[in-house]
Structures are given as structure tokens and as C-alpha cells.
Structure 1
Amino acid sequence: MGHSKANSSQQNHANPLIAAATSGPGKLPEYPLISPEHVMPAVQWLVSGTNGRMAAVEAALGAPGVKAWDEVMVPLEEVAATIHAVWSPVTHLFGVLNSPDLRKAYDEALPLMVDLDLKLGQNETVYRGLKSWQSDAGAWGKLSAAQRRIIEKRLLAAEHTGVALTGASRERFNEVEKELSQLATKFSNQLLDATKDFALNMSSKADVDGLPEHLLELAAHEYARRNKTQPNVKDGPWAITLDGPSFIPFMEFSKRPDLREKIYMASIKRASSGERDNSPLINQILVLRREKARLLGFNTYAALSLSSKMAPSVAEVRGLLEKLLNAALPAARRDLEDLKAFRKAHPALDGKRADGASTEALSHWDIAFWAERVKEAKYQYSEEELRPYFPLERVLDGLFALVKKAFRIDVRRAEGEAPVWHEDVRFFKVLDEGGKHIASFYLDPYSRPQNKKGGAWMAGCLDRWQSPAGLQIPVAHLVCNGTPPVGDTPGLMTFDQVRTLFHEFGHGLHHMLTEVPHIEAAGINNVEWDAVELPSQFMENWLFHVPTLKSLARHYQTGETLPGHYIQKILAARTYRSGSMIIRQLQFAFTDLELHEEFDPAGKETAFDVQNRHMTRAGVMAPHPENKFLCSFSHIFAGGYSAGYYSYKWAEVLSADAFAAFEEAGLENEATVANVGMKFRKVILAQGGSRHPMELFVEFRGRKPEPEALLRHEGLLSS
């Protein structure tokens, strides 16, 4: 028996997931040591250990007398920290270093994690104990406002995990949750696979007419990687994929309408047929979400979703979206007319179809190409011309200088001080103005379509936590999908990619500059979903401040600062097609809301009918009849944005209004920027989820948010 225990202990010690979870606060994951075979044993260990810890919490809650935070909530925080230490590295690697073996291990362990999550959320002893604590005025009064909010949100979350359900209803709820979790994973995997499956292979110079050099390099290397050959940038062959850094510039620059059509059709039909078909999953997910909402006493899933959001009701959300649509739709119609007129006047700018078919009518696959041509003519620059001025290293230097000025923090490179999962990954430390190490972050900047999902995100690696064993400082994962270095050329960014980096860094600041000592309200934890984008979208505004833009835009070969005429054009181009960009986001938001509010999955209309109706009502071109965008809408079917996609626009109103406080104080005055910046840091960033976001916003701004600043920034404010 003793021998078996010793073996078990040795195995646990050899498992890097368990080792990190038992090393005390602040232990960074040993990413290079984590293998798929570690996942299941670590999760089994976690489940077993959590059961033991919860028994102690239940005993404390069941004992007579006034409860203390330390005897109830601190053990619950320890449980949360242990779960995070085991499962967070697994979900992280699943997104950035996916493999068939890891996927298999993840799929096997996921039901255990869902069970554990449900068991914790549905722990009736904890729920009843916290409820009675809440109703004891004397005990409740001894807690801080942050502690009370943590318990209130925990009770709400418990109610959302079915804690009040009994018998058959509880059993069915648990089945639904498990099915939804598996369907989300399947949706995500099939989308990743469908993206990976597709390649547009090209072998003649005519096929690549108009394509910029960086895309030819990327495409030659992609073809070589797929076919295990040597890349030939000059003569090909080349392969274009549905991954953003490949697909987007191809649609903007290819002078082959027939090839644009081919890749556009592949994009809108992605994951909608054959063995990768997400269509049936969409209906299954919507049916189960509706059932879940009704089990919890809500009429619709949207009502359930909004019960934990900042927005008070579906009606209020729709009201804001309609206001934005009314401002944006006339501008979007003008955008389309401008584009048509320019195309008619300059037909020679585009090429011919290889099949000789007419290109007279404007098609969906022409929009990005002609929008880029109008932009070049109007502002006389292309995204590609700017790319050499945005090497990643220079952009980072400028970003770090900005946050030093605005928030009085120092970002230091710390490569080699933390284990990383890929050679591209960098590690950084964040110091306060006194030189104290207050946070760290990883940056994984480049696209790797073979094993890394698309998009960009920030996720917590470690949360800030004043544990009994000492302070754990926050650590963030910042993940982007920028254009990787090719040969001697460093990773050069488009302006849009720079904007994405600033956006994710805003989330990172929210996570890293928190001063809340409790895991459950530190950083973005406990922040209402529709307020969580405030700091990220706030950071994007700095790119339109000339001194900031100059500080991060230097030519990678000559060191020349971005010339003034480019800067003026970037500022002017900020509102270029803003109406068109906004209506696209509104189409997604309206579709998401209706699918989770009025839509009946068993009714006559399909989810795609709803999608097309909103694309028509809030659009300027009828959607393509074969458009199956929903099959790749992972935000709402495999992410956290179900009945919550509106939150991007909701938070844009908050962030534009917050940035207006800096504009009003004077962006050129470093002292006032630092003063307003420190107020933003101390009120919005430092307090994380410890107070309601509306309360924090009003404290920072002196009033409730107003949409005028957003409409002004977008050039849509009628004056």
C-alpha cells in the first residue's frame, strides 16, 4: 500500500500540471513539459482533491456562529486557484498549440471538468450558507463592498448553474450543460479543421497579379509547408488560406475576380458542408440554450444572458443598436455609391476573369478590392505601404512608452525568465513607478494556422490573489495572429494588426493593473461581460493621437519616422467606410440577439433566414444566397458572446466617452494626461470586478456614458 502511494506521489510530482498546482501561489506553468498524457491524470487528481477541500468548506458553513471571510471564502479561492493551475494551461495550449493528441486528451477530460464545474456551482450547502450569511445584517455589514459583491455574483452564478433545481430538472440541466460544452468544442474544432483544409493553390504569375510582396512570401512558404517542398517566392507555387493574414490582403489586392470569388465563397461557406458541417450544431446549440433558460425560469436565453450583464434589458440594447444603425446606414449607403462610381470610372484597375465571364455587376468579392482602391485614391496610401513602418519590436517600444506616460508603469523584456510554448513567444515584466514587480505577461504575436486558432485574445495565466501563503501577482497571455517574420524580414504589421495589439493590451492592463486582493474580482474577473471591452477599445483610441503614432511607427530598415503625410491620411482614413464597418457589426449583434430571443429553432424560419434578414435590413447589399456565415460565428457558438455580441458596441460607447476625458484635459499636456491616466488606472483598471461598472464609470467621468463621443470618433455625428 505504502509503495503504491509513493508511486502515486512520484507520478504527481512528474506531472507538470499537478506540480504547478501544488507549488504555492505564483508558479508559472511549465509549458514545454506539458504533454497530452498529463491532462487526464491531472484532472482526475484535481477532481479528487477538490471534493476533499469542499467538504471542509461545507463544514465551516454548517457550523454555528458568525462566519468569517477567511474560513469560508479563502478556501473557496484556494479551490479556484488549484482548478485554474491545472486546467488553464490545457485550454491555453488547446488554442495555441493544438494537436490531434492534445485534442483527444482535452475531449476526454472535458466532461470531468464540466461535472466539477457543475458540482461546485450547484453546491447547495455553499449556496444556502452564503444566502444565510447575506441575510444576517450584522455579519454582512462586516464585509467590504468588494467582498459583498463577490458573494452576490457567486450566488447569481450558482443560480445560473441550476443550484435551485431538484430531481429530474437538475439531472436534465446537467445533461444540457454537458452537451452544450461538447457542442461548442466540436463547433470550434470543425471550424479550425475547415480553415486548415482549404488552400487556393496558384502556379502562374497571372494568378498572383496585384498581390503584395509580403503576401507572396507568406503564400510561397505556406505552399512549401503543406507540400513539404522548398519555397519559391518569385515563381511559386503559392497557397492562399482562409487565415486572416492570408485571406484579407488577397481579397484587397488580387486582380483576379474569379479567384477572389473562389476564396470568398470558401470563406462564407466555411464549415457548412461534409464532415466539417457546423449547420446542425447551430440548431442543437440554440435548442439546448432555450431549454437551459427555461429550466432556470427565464423565457429566453437572451433574458438569462442579460441577467448578469451591465445592460438592463434586451429592449435597451436594441434601442442603442437602432440609434447606431440610424446614424450608420445612410453613411454605408454613401460608401457603396462612392465605390460603384469609382469602379465605373476606373475599370482598368481590376483584372479579368480567366473564364471570360462578365464582371460588370458589383459582387461581394469585389467590395474589399475596390474599397482598398478607393482608399488608395482618396488617401493615397495602402495598408501595404505602411507595413514597413510597423515592425513588431518598434510598435512594442511605442506602446510601452505610452503606458509609462499614461499609467506610470514600466514594461521590461524578460525573455528566458519563464518557460514558453513556442519559440515566437516573449515574456515581459510590469513594474510600478517605484520599480516594484506588479505583473507579467506572455506575448504570442504571430499566426500559426496549422495549430493555433485565428483571432486575438487575452486570457489570465495567473490572477492577482492575496493568498494565505503570500501575494500572487497577475500574469496575462496576450495572443495575436500577426504576419510572421519571413527570411530576413521581421514581423511587419498592418495598421489594423497594430490596433488589435493595442486592443488586447488594454485587456491585459485590466488584468495586470488590478489592486483587488480576491481572485474572484481581480482584473477582468467578475466584470460584467458588456463592460469588459472598455479598457481594450479605450487603448485603440491612442493610435489616432499623432505623438503616440509617431513614437511607434519607424521604418524597419531606415529608422525613418512615419512621414507626416501618411499620418494625416491615417487620421482622415479613420472614418473611411465607418458606416459600412458599423452596420456589419450591427448585423451580427441583431442576429445574435434574435437567435437567442424570439427565434424558434423548431419553427419555419432557419437560423440562416434570421442571419439573412438582418444582413438585408441592416445592410446595403443583399447577402449572397449561399452565405453560411453562422457556421464560422464562433464568438456566439463556441465563445462567450452568445446573446452578448452587442457588448462590443455597448463598450465602445463607454470607451469613446472615457477617452474623451483625456481629450478634454488636453492630449498634448503630459501632466494632465498622467493625472487623468492615473484616475483611469485607479478607478477603472485597479478595481476590476469589485464594483459595478456603471458606478466606476460615473466615478471616473462624473456622469453616465453618452454615445456622442463614439459617433464623433466615427465621423457620424451630424453637426
Structure 2
Amino acid sequence: MFPDFIEDNLLEKEIAILGQMDANLKTLDSLLKLPNLTFANFLKPYQSIQTNLSDLSTEISHLNSVKNSEESQAVYARILPKLTEYYTNLGQNEAIFSALLKIESLDQNLTSEQKQVLKNEIRDFRLSGVGLSAEKKEAFKQIQIRLSDLSNQFSQNVLNATNSFEMILESEDVIGMPEGDLLSAKTEDGKYKFTLHFPSYIAYMTYGPNREKREILYRASTTKAPENGKILEEILRLKKEQAELLGYPSYAHLSLATKVAESPEQVLEFLRKLAEKSKPIALHEFEILKKFAESEGCPDLKSHDVIFYSEKLKKSSFQYEEEKYRPYLEKESVVRGMFQFLESLLSIQFQEIKTRVWHPSVLCYEILTQNMVRARLYLDLEARSEKKGGAWMHNWKPHFIDETGQETLPIAFVVGNFPVASKDQPSLLKPSDVVTLFHELGHALHHLLSRVNEAFVSGVNGVEWDAVEFPSQFLENFVYEPKVLALFAKHYLTGETIPQEYIDTKVKAKNFQSALGVVRQLEFAIFDMLIHEGSPSEAEVQEILNKVREEVAVITPPNYNKFQNSFSHIFSGGYAAGYYSYKWAELMSANAFYKFVDQGIFSESLANQFRQDILEKGGSESAMVLFRRFYGKDPELEALLRLNGIAA
């Protein structure tokens, strides 16, 4: 029913991809020669062959992310330009485009899903340069190839820089740090090693008592991959050229052609309206933090102090300390409890299975509905040196019915970088790790619960980029619900359920410094949109960032901070001129979440409605159409402000 994921045959995968590309081109030639083109005889097999290629390329990109090696880097670097050239040539194929237009005009027996596929394909062909002159097509193709190479370089530089740094400390530099973090950091010779990998980095920035060491770590993190300054400059220039070739005034306009938002101006208006509401409260929050830090002997609060003193203030204000929750948040217990919650919420079942995996810590589950296996989910949650940082969902296969009537069931990977289990203790999560896990499971369920029969709009495929975060942000909000916390928060040694006062404290502390968090996200989002309205140089990018910080930021970082050089979301992660999507989607998720809160979080009828109207529909209709069907009206800003504890 499901294929095994083979992790040790990279060269075979490379050969398979090259073979699939050749086979696809031959199949296309045959399909285009058919006398009467229809959706059934052309677009059905067309989706199948492209999905087969996508599945194969996903295997290589996934391994390059979770089992990065010199071999994976070399294979990925070789295959990426070939894939880019293939897709660029495909998108500029006039014969395919003509076939799509012919089917649109003649084939009247299409389902709504098929109409959406056709609409998206015609749009995407236009965005791929179909109709351009031969000279412009070639220029467009070269830009695409170069951009894919630059994106890969950017990402690899960040990973290499992250892996290359370590800070070895003596015992006096870790006094008072949580035992779990010390166990993770302890070396064989009794010293302590901290790195730029997120669990290690955030542990010392949050609890590290030596201010000078915190600055060293902060500086290393915010100055890593300086060579990316020139790479991002070239990326921005090429994206501007790409947009102009397609008739758009900027890459920001081109990016929004496939999103719910209609224009850069509309996006910036939304972001600045949110900033107007958030910044006064963020300033107040920062003043409180500065006064607290001063009372603790730090009169000149710096960027590398913020996380440290914020944690102390949070503990002081709410008796809240992330570390004391970790014994109750053992990774596998959290996963089991999360599944229990989702089974209650969505009427699905998770069944652990034993199958081939790429690392012993990886877990695999099948998802059942009405006792029928519907999907497969892999969880790879612990940090490793060969794994790229952060957390993500990677969809391997979508749900669809092919031209022969054969059903393919969906598969997805959820990847995290949570604390590593050791011989002395299991992987114990921070509350923020649990939020991340719920978030990525939201993405996975959006893909895995799809009942759409057309591959190109099934699961997360075809979902507008500024709506794709909606289900993930919706799900993460439940982490703060006492009834949900009680399901999975069990002490890893005693099995004791987390004390009620811990839950009460966590809920009260949920919106601690939330306005500071909002303006930070707005800083990133406005910066992203503005740099993609032109093609600024490396120096001009910094000038734009400085101006954005003057406008919305509350905490001004030191001049050496070059966070843009590791801003992988927009330079290698698909969020270019789309980082605003987090807040745009959060607007929808906040409204949907409060509908559950107001009606009861375990409302069976409401959960069924959410599953049927949102999760099962994938990209088969516009996300805003689906949202209105579920919610009954457009989303309102008040719910987003409420979610973040900001008065309207």
C-alpha cells in the first residue's frame, strides 16, 4: 500500500530522476498527438507523470535536509539545475499551454476540482514565461536555473556556518542552568559545549549566566554566513528581472499572483495596521523588561540579554519557568497524547508501525479513518548534526486517483530539532517545542486528510501560500487549552499528570511579551515585502531593514547583526515576498480557533465541519472561499488581537 523510504541509494535516486524526466517528455509527446484532448486523456496522465517526478525529487531533497552529507550535497547540487531546467522548459511549452486552453474551451464535463487544476495550470504556465519570445524564454530559463543554485548555496552556507561553531565552557559558566540542558551540553572531559543548533543556542541564551558568553553566542548566530550577503543581492536582482520579463513591476507583485492577497499595498496596509495596534503595547512590555533587568543588575539591556531577562521576568511574574515543564513533556508521551487529542477532535486514529527509516529515532504511523488506512506519517523530531535546523512538514505523496482509477494514499514527513534523548534521560521538550510540534502536525493533517482526487490540488498542493499556514496555526492554539494539556503532560518518571497550577500558570503566561513577538514578526514581514519591490544591493538591503526597524521595532539590535544573511525563509525557503503569510493566515486561524473556544473545543459537529470544509478540501478551491464556508463570513482583525492579548 505504501512504498518504503530507502535512505541509502542516493545515486539510484539520481538515476531514477533523470530517467523519469526523459520518460515524462516522451509521454508528453504521445499525449499531445491525441486527436481529441480532454481532461481525462491529457491532464489526468499529465498530473501522474509530474507527481511521479516530484515524489522522486522529494526523496533527495528530504535526505539532504535530514541526513546531510557530502554525497547528498553533491547529488542534490547536480540534480537541482537539471530539475530547474526541466520545469522551466515545461512551463514554457507552447504546445502544452495550447492544449490546456483547448481543454478549457471544449471540455464541459469537469468537476470543480478539475476546473481548479486547469485554472491553476493556465495561470502557472503564464507565470513560467509561456508566450515570451525565444530570447526572453532563454533568459527566463537561465534566471530560474541560477536562482535554484543560489537558493541551495544560501541554505548550505547557513548549515555549514551553524555546524562549524562551538563554544566550550567551564562549569562556572553554566551555574544555575537546567539539568536537562547541562546533560545535553556536557562533553566527555566534563566541560560543556554549546552550538548554533537551535536547542543548544536557545538553552544558553535563555539560561546562560555568563553575559559575555551570551554575546559571543548571539554574535556568532547573527553574523553567520556573511558570504550570503552577495548571494541575496544576486537573488533579489534576478527575481526583479524575472518579474519584469513576465510583465510585473516587481517580484512582490509576481509573488502575490498566486496568493489570496491582491497587492503589496494591501499587504503592507494590513501589516502596518497591526503594527499600529501592537507597537505601543510592545514598547510598554519592553520598558517593563528594562526596569526588571536594571533591578537585576543590568542597567544597559542589550539584544543578547533579552531572552535571558525575559525568562527571569516571566518566572518572577507568573512563577513560570519553561524548564520545570520539561519532565512532563517527554517527547513520546507528548506524541501519544497529541494523537489522542487529534483522534477526539477529528475522528481519526494513529497506529504506529515498524518500517524502514533513515535514523533510529524516526517514528512512523498510519492514519486511519473509519478503520481504513488513509495516510502515512513519519516523525523525525530529535536534533542531529547532519540535519538542517528548524522544523517543517515535507509532503512526499499526495492523495489522488490516477487515470487508471488507481488510488495513491498520501505520505508526509514532520521534522523537528528537539532535545536529543541520552542514556540518562529521554527527549524532554520545552512548551515552545510542543507548540512547534502541533504546528507542523497541522500542516501534515492538511495534507494527509485530503479527500481530493486531483494530485495538483490535493493536500497542501495548490493552496495559496498566504493561507497554507492556516491549519497549522489553528492547531497550535490548542496547546494552551487546559483540557488538551491534561491529555499529554505526564511526568516521565512517575506518570503523574501535570499539576493544575502548572496549567493555570502556563495559560496565564501565554501572552507574556506577545506584542514584542508580534512586532518582531511584522519587522520581518514588512522588510521582506519592501526588498522585493525592487532589487536593492547588499548595502541597500541593510538600509531598508534599518528603516523598517525605526518604523516598527522596539528592540534595536547591534550594528553587527546581519540576520538577513541567514533569513532562509525568504532566500531559500519559498517565502520570498510572502513572509507576511504567517500573520495573514493567523488572522484566519484566530477566527476559526475562537469559534471552537466559544462553542466548545470538542464540539463534534464543528470539528467535522472543519475537517470537511478545510482539511479534506486541500487546494481544490480558494482558501478564502473555504474559510467563508466554514466560518460564515470574512475573518476579523479583532480575533487576531485577542489571540495575542492585544486590546483592539
Q: Which of 225, 228, 243 is the equivalent residue of 1:278?
A: 228
Output the aligned Cα RMSD: 1.4
Q: Which of 532, 536, 540 is the equivalent residue of 1:596?
A: 532
Deviation per residue, 1:531-576 (Å, 9 max, x gap): 0001000001111211111111111111111111111111111110
**How far apart in 1 are the matches of 2:630 and 2:474?**
14
Q: More relative contact order in 1 or in 2 (CA 8 Å, sep 6+)?
A: 2
> 1:303-452 alignment to 2 at 5 Å?
303-347=253-297, 360-414=299-353, 416=354, 418-432=355-369, 434-448=370-384, 450-452=385-387
**How far apart in 2 are the matches of 1:193 and 1:126?**
41
Match of residue 167 from structure 1: 134
**How far apart in 1 are the matches of 2:299 and 2:436?**
35
Q: Which of 17, 23, 30 is the equivalent residue of 1:43?
A: 17
- Maintained 8 Å contact 1:88/1:461: yes
> 1:430-579 alignment to 2 at 5 Å?
430-432=367-369, 434-448=370-384, 450-467=385-402, 468=404, 470-579=406-515
- Maintained 8 Å contact 1:43/1:112: no
Q: Which of 168, 186, 197 is the equivalent residue of 1:243?
A: 197
> 1:8-27 alignment to 2 at 5 Å?
27=2
Match of residue 91 from structure 1: 61
**How far apart in 1 are the matches of 2:458 and 2:469?**
16
**How far apart in 2 are the matches of 1:553 and 1:533?**
26
Judge which range, 295-304 or 83-92, deviates more: 83-92
For residue 133 of structure 1, give the secondary structure of its aligned residue in structure 2. helix
**How far apart in 1 are the matches of 2:15 and 2:376?**
29
**How far apart in 1 are the matches of 2:424 and 2:47?**
48
- Maintained 8 Å contact 1:386/1:495: yes
Q: Which of 117, 137, 143 is the equivalent residue of 1:150?
A: 117
Q: Which of 257, 280, 285 is the equivalent residue of 2:211?
A: 257
Aligned partner letter, 1:164: G
For residue 529 of structure 1, give the secondary structure of its aligned residue in structure 2. coil
Match of residue 550 from structure 2: 616
**How far apart in 2 are the matches of 1:400 and 1:39?**
33
- Maintained 8 Å contact 1:390/1:555: yes
**How far apart in 2 are the matches of 1:602 and 1:553?**
49
Q: Which of 210, 220, 243 is the equivalent residue of 1:266?
A: 220
Asked if 1:678 corresponds to 2:628, the answer is no
For residue 33 of structure 2, give the secondary structure of its aligned residue in structure 1. helix
> 1:89-238 alignment to 2 at 5 Å?
89-136=59-106, 139=107, 141-202=108-169, 204-220=170-186, 224=187, 231-232=188-189, 236-238=190-192
For residue 308 of structure 1, give the secondary structure of its aligned residue in structure 2. coil
**How far apart in 1 are the matches of 2:53 and 2:535?**
37
Aligned partner letter, 1:324: L
- Maintained 8 Å contact 2:162/2:197: yes
Match of residue 705 from structure 1: 635
* Pairwise CA distance, 1:612: 2.0
**How far apart in 2 are the matches of 1:717 and 1:319?**
19
- Maintained 8 Å contact 2:194/2:200: yes
Judge which range, 367-376 or 112-121, deviates more: 112-121
> Structure 2: which 5+ runs fail to align?
none
> 1:65-84 alignment to 2 at 5 Å?
65=36, 67-84=37-54
**How far apart in 1 are the matches of 2:473 and 2:212?**
37
Asked if 1:580 corresponds to 2:554, the answer is no
TM-score, normalised with respect to structure 2: 0.98
Asked if 1:660 corresponds to 2:586, the answer is no
**How far apart in 1 are the matches of 2:235 and 2:516?**
30
* Pairwise CA distance, 1:386: 0.5
Aligned partner letter, 2:597: E
Aligned partner letter, 2:549: M
Match of residue 7 from structure 2: 32
Aligned partner letter, 1:287: R
Asked if 1:627 corresponds to 2:578, the answer is no
Aligned partner letter, 2:530: E
For residue 413 of structure 1, give the secondary structure of its aligned residue in structure 2. strand
**How far apart in 1 are the matches of 2:294 and 2:192?**
31
Aligned partner letter, 2:224: R
**How far apart in 1 are the matches of 2:18 and 2:434?**
42
**How far apart in 1 are the matches of 2:480 and 2:154?**
37
**How far apart in 1 are the matches of 2:487 and 2:161?**
40
> Structure 1: which 5+ runs fail to align?
1-25, 225-230, 348-358
- Maintained 8 Å contact 2:93/2:130: yes
For residue 466 of structure 2, give the secondary structure of its aligned residue in structure 1. helix
* Pairwise CA distance, 1:206: 1.5
- Maintained 8 Å contact 1:653/1:705: yes
- Maintained 8 Å contact 1:442/1:478: yes
For residue 211 of structure 1, give the secondary structure of its aligned residue in structure 2. coil
Aligned partner letter, 2:351: R
For residue 442 of structure 1, give the secondary structure of its aligned residue in structure 2. strand
Aligned partner letter, 1:213: E
For residue 7 of structure 2, give the secondary structure of its aligned residue in structure 1. helix
For residue 530 of structure 1, give the secondary structure of its aligned residue in structure 2. coil
* Pairwise CA distance, 1:29: 4.2
TM-score, normalised with respect to structure 1: 0.88
* Pairwise CA distance, 1:471: 1.0
**How far apart in 1 are the matches of 2:5 and 2:411?**
14
Deviation per residue, 1:278-332 (Å, 9 max, x gap): 1100100000000000000000000000011011111111111112111211111
| CA pair 40-513 structure 1, distance change in 2 beyond 3 A | closer
Structure with bigger gyration radius: 1
